[in-house]
Amino acid sequence: MSEALKVPTMAEYVATGETPEILFWVGCAGSFDDRAKKITKAIVKILNNANVKFAVLGTEESCTGDPAKRAGNEFLFQMQAMTNITVMNGYNVKRIVTGCPHCFNTLKNEYPSLGGSYEVVHHTQLIQELLSSGRIKIEGGSFKGKKITFHDPCYLGRANEVYEAPREVMINLDAELAEMKRSRANGLCCGAGGAQMFKEAEKGNREVNVERSEEALALNPDIIAVGCPFCNTMMTDGVKHFNKEQSVKVYDVAELIAQAKDL
């Protein structure tokens, strides 16, 4: 579809005297990384299709501070967090959805002690909610019969125990869901967490993403599904390492739903 995406800002909502149901926190990857922008667009298409009143902060959104905190710069983290909290509290934000588990974890668990208390959901949780309530419907679509394996993002799974939402969403695709040996609470990191995304690899004999991708490819899947822009990058690189990019695709759960609905 070439139809322009409707993405209102919080400032635009306030100007009309309205309040959106939800704030869509786009995140750094979803804003600036070309691959992750496609995930952002998929989430927007789903929200629009479900007639969800949502808004973004636009240029008022800054990094949550997650990379700074994980890298050990608590001072910078608190500066970034306080800037965001001031903006969101100014708009009286109540509910936030984000496509990034790192943003999700930081907003949900680390902002309250600094004065930013919100209901924070991951995009797979919101999509599951929209499906359960009948606001969006999926009937198989182009993924019917395909073999999909889901890689649990660390900050969604083990850090926040969100395991079922992405899987329950993908059940609607009428695909075959195959589990890796290490999944759910025993899942293996993609190699990008803890600010590793932004630094050189440490000493060792193998890259973490190669190890994880090999585990996924052992299932001979058509698709490796992820729920995090960092995991998307790492798993895509891993698939390329094994020269499997022609036969195995890496997609975010939101992209699978948007494609199944032909949005």
Domain of 71: which CATH number?
A: 3.40.50
- Mapped onto helix, strand or coil, the DSSP state of residue 225 is strand
Co-location of 142 and 256 in the same domain: yes
Q: Is residue 5 part of a domain?
A: no
- Burial degree of 66 (CB within 10 A; 0-12, 13-18, 19+): buried
pLDDT (mean) for 233-245: 97
Among residues 99, 128, 157, the one where a domain terminates is 128
Q: Could you report the per-residue pLDDT of 147-187, keeping only the tens digit for each?
A: 999 999 999 999 999 999 999 999 999 999 999 999 999 99
Co-location of 154 and 251 in the same domain: yes
Q: Is residue 83 part of a domain?
A: yes
pLDDT at 2: 44
Tell me if 77 sits within 8 A of 65, measured CB to CB.
yes
Q: Express as a percent the part of the chain with pLDDT over 90.
A: 89
Q: Is residue 2 part of a domain?
A: no
Total residue length of the chain = 263
- Is residue 247 very low, low, confident or very high in pLDDT (cuts 50, 70, 90)? very high
Q: How many domains are there within the chain?
A: 2
Round the CA-based radius of gyration of the chain to a whole number and report it: 18
Q: How far apart are CA 31 and CA 25, in angstroms?
A: 10
Residue 135 has pLDDT above 60, yes or no: yes
Co-location of 122 and 14 in the same domain: yes
Neighbours of 82 (CB within 10 A): 15
- Mapped onto helix, strand or coil, the DSSP state of residue 110 is helix
Among residues 128, 160, 191, the one where a domain terminates is 128
Residue range(s) defining the domain that contains residue 209 = 138-260
Residue 33 has pLDDT above 90, yes or no: yes
Q: Express as a percent the part of the chain with pLDDT over 70.
A: 98
Q: Which two tokens stand for residue 228?
A: 């995090």
- What is the layout of strands, in order, in the sheet containing 54-55? 54-55, 22-25, 95-98, 119-122
- Is residue 4 very low, low, confident or very high in pLDDT (cuts 50, 70, 90)? confident
Q: What is the pTM of this model?
A: 0.95
pLDDT (mean) for 38-67: 97
Q: How far apart are CA 129 and CA 136, in angstroms?
A: 9
Tell me if 87 sits within 8 A of 108, measured CB to CB.
no
Q: Is residue 194 part of a domain?
A: yes
Q: Mean pLDDT over all residues of the chain?
A: 95
Co-location of 238 and 180 in the same domain: yes
Q: Is residue 1 part of a domain?
A: no
Q: How far apart are CA 226 and CA 224, in angstroms?
A: 7
Tell me if 166 sits within 8 A of 224, measured CB to CB.
no
pLDDT (mean) for 106-123: 98
Q: Is residue 68 part of a domain?
A: yes
